[in-house]
């Protein structure tokens, strides 16, 4: 048995079976590339679901992590640390937010926002206790906790995990009139992804978010945008909301906030929503720890200073153009914004997973989603030559 076969067998024997990864065992990463235990190199076109936007093992983030890890890692929020204030200041300047709450995983940021808007609904909006409603969209993905899967429409994510958290109203994504009809006096918030990533990179119709923003403002509904995947440069802007010309009241970020080094997420708030949380009402042992703050500060610094967002815009256009000019009989649709892209295959093609497997054999790692779609999201530092190579491999695989 090779090393990778042994490791895979051990995982199968001892691990819970809640994932079905491609059978590639990675041991090293640098920039857009990762290497497996047999020494094969791959171009990473998933970027850990957009957590490594800055590229694997970015040397400056690594240096900041090592430096901070040797000095102070965790104090808990029982005491203060000398990194959190700087993270607040830098994130506020970068995003224009007024209040920030740091957490760890993306799901925790979503949970935090749900708690805060419910409380805001009771204390500020005057919704009767226990009646708060949050509007969400079908085919959403916001994480895996019980409350979040309570409003999932994916049977795999939801079935068998009840009883479910009430208080969510599900409407179709991209339909502003359905949204208008779902609002009532008890609606405290809308929780929406700017582009539905896990659903297969679904981009809403032009003008959708302008209308959502108007409806939220008119009805005193807090607009929460989950930018955990779309945010931090992925779509060619710092936040995907910029494509729509709107501003959310609450923005959720995570994933690339640490450049893939550490779980760091944050709730960014433009309104008074986070102001309702008082001491003792919410927290996390690791949230806002100095190691996380030092890593996130540097991850944001390299994202902006090294031109990654501009590169994502330029390379995203170039990559999409390449994908659209491929000769293939099994491509139903190519879509994307920035470097958040998807190639949807015809149903007769027999599922996207086999093509992801074939791409792996050619040295390109990508992930199938929803059976027929290949999602493509390389690190934002990808070059033209690397895009050319990726498109040629994809064309050879599905052409
Ligand atoms: C990944 C993701 C989450 C959940 O983040 P975790 O860190 O996995 O908990 C939430 N929302 C969106 C849009 C995501 O892509």
Computed from CA positions of residues 114, 51, 299, 61, in that sequence, does the dihedral angle turn out positive or negative? positive
Atom of ligand 1 nearest to the CA of 148: 10
The average pLDDT across 310-323 equals 98
Pairing of strands 222-226, 187-192: parallel
How many structural domains are present in the chain? Answer: 2
pLDDT given at position 271? 73
Given a cut of 90, is residue 370 above it in pLDDT?
no
Average pLDDT over the chain reads 97
What is the Å distance from ligand 1's center to 87 Cα? Answer: 21
270 pLDDT tier (thresholds 50, 70, 90): confident
Domain end among 252, 278, 305: 305
What is the Å distance from ligand 1's center to 140 Cα? Answer: 11
Q: Looking at the structure, do residues 332 and 392 belong to the same domain, yes or no? A: yes
Q: Looking at the structure, do residues 203 and 130 belong to the same domain, yes or no? A: yes
Which of 142, 147, 157, 200 to probe ligand 1 with, by most ligand atoms within 8 A of CB? Answer: 142
Residues in the chain: 399
User: What CATH number does residue 274 fall under?
Assistant: 3.40.640.10
Give the distance, in angstroms, between the CA of residue 88 and the centroid of all CA atoms in the same chain. 20
The set of catalytic residues is 141, 226, 255
Q: Looking at the structure, do residues 382 and 263 belong to the same domain, yes or no? A: no
Ligand 1 binding pocket, CB closer than 6 Å: 49, 105-107, 110, 141-143, 193, 197, 226, 228-229, 254-255
Q: Looking at the structure, do residues 111 and 185 belong to the same domain, yes or no? A: yes
Domain end among 280, 305, 330: 305
Atom of ligand 1 nearest to the CA of 263: 7
Q: Looking at the structure, do residues 319 and 216 belong to the same domain, yes or no? A: no
Ligand 1 atom 10 nearest Cα: 142
Domain end among 288, 305, 322: 305
pLDDT digits (tens, 9 = 90+) for 143-177: 999 999 999 999 999 999 999 999 999 999 999 99
Ligand 1 atom 15 nearest Cα: 229
Nearest CA to 37 out of 1, 12, 67, 85 is that of 1
Which residue segment(s) compose the domain that 353 sits in?
A: 3-54+307-398
Helix (H, G, I), strand (E, B) or coil at 202: strand
User: What CATH number does residue 385 fall under?
Assistant: 3.90.1150.10
pLDDT given at position 399? 87
Pairing of strands 265-269, 168-171: unpaired
pLDDT digits (tens, 9 = 90+) for 192-223: 999 999 999 999 999 999 999 999 999 999 99
């Amino acid at each position: 048995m090779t090393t990778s076969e042994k490791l895979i067998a051990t995982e199968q024997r001892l691990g819970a079976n809640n994932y079905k990864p491609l059978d590639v065992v990675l041991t090293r990463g640098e920039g857009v590339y990762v290497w497996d235990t047999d020494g094969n190199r791959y171009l990473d076109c998933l970027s850990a679901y957009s957590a490594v936007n800055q590229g694997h093992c970015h040397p400056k983030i690594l240096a900041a992590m090592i430096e901070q890890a040797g000095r102070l890692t965790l104090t808990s929020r029982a005491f203060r640390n000398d990194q959190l204030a700087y993270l607040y200041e830098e994130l506020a300047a970068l995003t224009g937010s007024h209040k920030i709450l740091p957490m760890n995983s993306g799901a925790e940021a979503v949970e935090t926002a749900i708690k805060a808007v419910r409380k805001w609904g009771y204390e500020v909006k005057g919704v009767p206790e226990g009646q708060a409603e949050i509007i969400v969209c079908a085919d959403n993905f916001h994480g895996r906790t019980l409350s979040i899967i309570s409003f999932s429409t994916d049977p795999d994510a939801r079935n068998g995990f009840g009883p479910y958290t009430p208080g969510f109203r599900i409407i179709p994504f991209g339909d502003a009139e359905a949204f208008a009809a779902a609002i009532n006096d008890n609606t405290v918030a809308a929780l929406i992804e700017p582009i539905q990533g896990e659903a297969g990179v679904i981009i809403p119709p032009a003008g959708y978010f302008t209308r959502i923003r108007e409806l939220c403002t008119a009805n005193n509904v807090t607009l929460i945008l989950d930018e955990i995947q779309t945010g931090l440069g992925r779509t060619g802007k710092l936040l995907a909301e910029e494509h729509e010309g709107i501003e959310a009241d609450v923005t959720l970020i995570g994933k690339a906030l640490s450049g893939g080094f550490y779980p760091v997420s944050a709730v960014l708030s433009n309104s008074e929503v986070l102001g309702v949380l008082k001491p003792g009402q919410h927290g996390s042992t690791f949230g806002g720890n100095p190691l996380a703050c030092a890593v996130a500060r540097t991850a944001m610094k390299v994202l902006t200073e090294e031109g990654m967002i501009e590169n994502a815009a330029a390379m995203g256009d170039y990559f999409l153009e390449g994908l659209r000019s491929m000769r293939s009989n099994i491509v139903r649709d190519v879509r994307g914004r920035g470097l958040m892209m998807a190639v949807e295959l015809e149903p007769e093609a027999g599922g996207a997973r086999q093509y992801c497997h074939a791409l792996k054999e050619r040295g390109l790692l990508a992930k199938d989603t929803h059976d027929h779609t290949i999602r493509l999201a390389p690190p934002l530092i990808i070059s033209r030559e690397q895009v050319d190579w990726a498109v040629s491999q994809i064309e050879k695989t599905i052409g």
